[in-house]
Structure 1
């Protein structure tokens, strides 16, 4: 529940950012993102959500092809906003489960590794967890905990993917040129 809450907070924050930037309406953003979010929750894969993201960004938000043909595929492939959150919570869980102390420096290593290694995370359900094994080894946490976390990851992974898909859509909106679509020369 802690992890799911920590993943929902930035997901909701994406809507606040949309409201503050006023690049598109929150209603249109929600309407464009919803099909991709549903696919993401069901499949637990940002890559599987990509066609729905492109369709929503093109049909509802009328974003240019720079956003739909370049930014969204790039984000779905390498931008995993959930990693820093998930890896830190996973390290806390492991330390608590095995009764081990977790120092601030160990937590910093896990969080930094989560951010850096998120760019190489495979686009499959729970794919990033296997990347935690060498990090756990480096800081002295038992790697067996990764297997336990994989077994428990179905529900949290749905919310991790929800955050990733929503943030991918946000990045596409924020990076799109502000000129009306018919004035853009592609």
Structure 2
């Protein structure tokens, strides 16, 4: 495994781990909401297994998460980050690209699909609108911060992740029919 960095269109540095193999095929793994490239060790195990099976793998932190540059989380920014990851691996000569998305990462994968993508594996797929009562997930102080500052600060290990108000709205705005049309129009 080799640590790598690349930039998104906003010139933020995204951090990742590249598990190389001799194949010209690569799997890009996309973590879920407020997580990181390790996904509590699950992505590490999967990346190692994929590599042993002959695939190269890129796991990376979306902007605002893990070791990538700070940013407020929104779905649009994550889509930009994945497009940047696809460009990064393409520039390294990978000809066949697969996407592996977990939870919110699955929605990002669907929004980034192009014929260049050979396949997608989506776990815990978020393919339609989700209406959450955010008061059940965040503290009163965090909800107050949202009202006053437009974001919520979530502690993940030694890192603060800033969840933009838009990201919380993004969960409700996922349009299943639009995702289906995007995918089938490109397929």
Q: TM-score, normalised by structure 2?
A: 0.33
Which structure shows the higher strand fraction? 2
Which structure shows the higher helix fraction? 1
Rg bigger for which structure?
A: 1
Choose between structure 1 and 2 for higher RCO, CA contacts under 8 A separated by at least 6 residues.
Answer: 1
